[in-house]
Structure 1
Amino acid sequence: MDSSLLTIGLPIALAVIMLGLGLDLTPSDFARVARRPKAVLVALACQIVLLPLVAFGLVNLFGLSPLLAVGFMLLAASPGGTTANLYSHLFRGDVALNITLTAINSVLAIITLPLVTNLALAYFAASEDGLTMQFGKVVQVFAIVLIPVGIGMLIRAKAPDFAARMDRPVRIASAILLLLVVLGAILGEKDNFGSYFAQVGLVSTLFCAISLTVGYIVPRLLGMTDREAIASGFEIGIHNSTLAIAMAVTVLGEAEMAVPPAVYGIVMFFVAAAFGMIVSRRAAPRTAV
């Protein structure tokens, strides 16, 4: 992968995206858990427990190479982000629930990302020069995830008018930077990308579709409203692929691991849009009644 993207572009892109996430968050987003624990706990259980199991099953079913398999597990352990909030808004989901889930998941990622990554490395890539996520790398995850979010929340608390004005520009910048990061990850592996896409394109599409479906159906079966289930579906099905790419490239130093989240970062937009149209049409008649 291009060194300038690796050393400058990727950390800046991720910092802007996580800062934008922080600008949307307030302490009340965390406190909301006490007021609606069922919706939050069901979605978190799907995100933290079911998705890694789904990803594990898919990478074994399709026989992915060790580094690509670890990249998929990294993706499965990554939290949702502002794109999930946007889709939820467009397709009549409960955006407040999305914001709450994003806030909690961003904190839990400090634990879940290293845990899932170490388990995946031990299982899939034990022979890859002893790759492990050591304590120093866990500290990097902490810095990557929480520091920009914390700065964004501080700006929101101290200068709410400025944070409100910056919300739209930062969202636009985040979307552009996400695209650039995904393209950079693809170009960095351009010699192998055709074969990589052949290996992970279908898996990425299936994983996205399954994630969205699980995130919607499980809450509905447990009695949550359509709006809550739609929000949960998008939160669980739309991952922070930039964070997964940054983990693969800057923390673990393996560009090949960045390929699954890069491919996912492309296909998820189309799969999530199709999912949104289906569930919002199903929800509309019930809402009208």
Structure 2
Amino acid sequence: MALAGVLLPIALAIIMLGLGLSLTIADFRRVVAYPKAAVVALTCQVVLLPAVCLGLVLAFGLPPALAVGMMLLAATPGGTTANLYSHLFGGDVALNVTLTAINSVLAVVTLPLVTNLSLSYFGDAGTLGLQFGKTLQVIALVLVPVAVGMAVRTFRPRFADRMESPVKIASVVILVLVILGALMQELDDLGGYIRSVGAITVLFSVISLAVGYWAPRLAGVGRRQAIASCMEIGIHNATLAITVALSPALLNNTQMAVPAATYGILMFFTGAAAGFLVRSRASSDAASEASTA
């Protein structure tokens, strides 16, 4: 789709600009206040989840393109939905913002790295891979807009506040148009794709949410920080994965976008279920403490 070659890079740049508009240097400094929570969450996000995803992909025996799409999804940082869910279910939203900021910077390196390794393992990296030039494009499309957005937030905070909503709306509209076009091209095979990745995306989502909550708790992190970690790790930025997969300048492969597109719908339900579970557990613990006091 020729139009995607223009619209997708624009959509990704706008999405990352919108993220940058919501970030400040203080968000990165705040990690000092939550060192253990941040380290545990980032380790799970960057190291553990790609390993878990690889195990699932091998266990399910996915075709190469879908396997790479799953690994691409695993390498993406948390999205803005994670912040919303954390707020709704009693998490520490400040920690979410901090993790999003750090993960977005780390993704500049980890996303191309995981994708390249996956392409080398599952297919012909020379044909499909993110070579050095394309890796630089990912860095430019991800890091530069975030830096610009942060600069605007620093020097023109009122303007940044006014622009946050329009930027988000614009990115969603452009992305929806491109995704619809891509889905129309693959309409005949769409049902088969969903049947192929529906179960694995749900399982990956459940595992991500469970790891995100229990790893910090087992490390002695407080419940509100654990809920924040649960949402940040469990709700991946499917939009970023879809954009990288579909963009003609990057992977240019509709099948690789299918896992992220499927996950992007299902995660709202698994994330909400996890949120209700951890909130009910917190209420039960509070009631038990009150009764024994």
TM range (shorter): over 0.9
**Rounded Cα–Cα distance in structure 2 between residues aligned with 1:213 and 1:70:** 23
Cα pair distance change 1:184/1:101, threshold 3 Å: farther
Cα pair distance change 1:287/1:104, threshold 3 Å: farther
The AA in structure 2 aligned to 1:204 is T
The offset of 1:158, in angstroms, is: 1.2
**Rounded Cα–Cα distance in structure 2 between residues aligned with 1:179 and 1:207:** 24
Other-structure match for 1:141: 138
**Rounded Cα–Cα distance in structure 2 between residues aligned with 1:180 and 1:225:** 42
Other-structure match for 1:46: 44
**Rounded Cα–Cα distance in structure 1 between residues aligned with 2:235 and 2:258:** 16
Write out per-residue CA displacement over residues 94-115 of structure 1, whole angstroms, 9 at most, x where no aligned residue.
1111111111111111111111
Q: TM-score, normalised by structure 2?
A: 0.91
1:220 counterpart = 2:217: yes
1:190 counterpart = 2:176: no
Other-structure match for 2:28: 30
Other-structure match for 2:122: 124
The AA in structure 2 aligned to 1:134 is Q
Of 7-16 and 238-247, more deviation after overlay is shown by 7-16
**Rounded Cα–Cα distance in structure 2 between residues aligned with 1:8 and 1:21:** 21
Of 174-183 and 111-120, more deviation after overlay is shown by 174-183
1:255 counterpart = 2:254: yes
Cα pair distance change 1:22/1:254, threshold 3 Å: same
Of 98-107 and 240-249, more deviation after overlay is shown by 240-249
Write out per-residue CA displacement over residues 125-158 of structure 1, whole angstroms, 9 at most, x where no aligned residue.
13x7643321101111101211121121111111
**Rounded Cα–Cα distance in structure 1 between residues aligned with 2:214 and 2:184:** 37
Write out per-residue CA displacement over residues 141-189 of structure 1, whole angstroms, 9 at most, x where no aligned residue.
1012111211211111111122223334444555555655554443342
The CA RMSD measured in Å over matched residues stands at: 1.9
**Structure 1 contact 94–231 (Cα < 8 Å) conserved:** yes
**Rounded Cα–Cα distance in structure 1 between residues aligned with 2:38 and 2:282:** 20
Equivalenced residues, count: 286
**Structure 1 contact 182–242 (Cα < 8 Å) conserved:** no
**Rounded Cα–Cα distance in structure 1 between residues aligned with 2:30 and 2:57:** 36
Write out per-residue CA displacement over residues 260-279 of structure 1, whole angstroms, 9 at most, x where no aligned residue.
11111111111111111111
**Structure 2 contact 79–100 (Cα < 8 Å) conserved:** yes
**Structure 2 contact 8–175 (Cα < 8 Å) conserved:** no
**Rounded Cα–Cα distance in structure 1 between residues aligned with 2:28 and 2:47:** 21
Other-structure match for 1:237: 234
Other-structure match for 2:11: 13
Cα pair distance change 1:184/1:75, threshold 3 Å: farther
**Structure 1 contact 185–258 (Cα < 8 Å) conserved:** no
Show structure 2 runs of 5+ residues with no match.
none
Cα pair distance change 1:227/1:179, threshold 3 Å: farther
Other-structure match for 2:268: 269
Q: TM-score, normalised by structure 1?
A: 0.92
Write out per-residue CA displacement over residues 46-95 of structure 1, whole angstroms, 9 at most, x where no aligned residue.
00111101111111111100011001000000111211111111111111
The AA in structure 1 aligned to 2:272 is A
SS of match in other structure, 1:203 = helix
Cα pair distance change 1:134/1:278, threshold 3 Å: same
**Structure 2 contact 153–160 (Cα < 8 Å) conserved:** yes
SS of match in other structure, 2:96 = helix
SS of match in other structure, 1:98 = helix
The AA in structure 2 aligned to 1:224 is V
